[in-house]
Amino acid sequence: MVLPWPIPDDPSFHASEPAEQTEDLRLAALVAQRLSIDWTTRRQQIVVTVQNRVVILSGTVADPDIRQVAGELAWDVPGVFDVCNTLRISIRRGGRAAGP
């Protein structure tokens, strides 16, 4: 019986992890840098995580436009395979969006 993926005890299973982790860290740093430089996203609470070149944006932002800009900035980083934008819009009491 042949398994469709390598088993963890197989030495080749761990051979590519350091390079992939290094690339993910590099992409996370580039995306975070872009978000911190852009005037639209710099003061927002955005967490950047990268797994297998997929950028995951989480946290809260002030409005839907900022959420969209954050996703677009992440997509613009060379090497990004996909973006999962899970940013939420912060809401003040009374139903109004929170300001910056």
Query: Mean of the pLDDT values across residues 59-84?
Result: 97
CA quadruple 11, 13, 16, 22: dihedral, nearest 10: -110
Query: Mean of the pLDDT values across residues 40-55?
Result: 95
Side-chain half-sphere CA neighbours of 41 within 13 A = 27
| CA 84 – CA 91 distance, rounded (Å) | 21
Domain boundaries, the chain: 18-89
CATH of 18-89, one of 2.40.128, 3.40.190, 1.20.120, 3.30.1340: 3.30.1340
Query: Mean of the pLDDT values across residues 47-72?
Result: 97
Query: Mean of the pLDDT values across residues 48-57?
Result: 96
Q: Check residues 9 and 84 and name the one with the higher pLDDT.
A: 84
Q: Which residue type is seen at 65? A: D
pTM of the model: 0.74
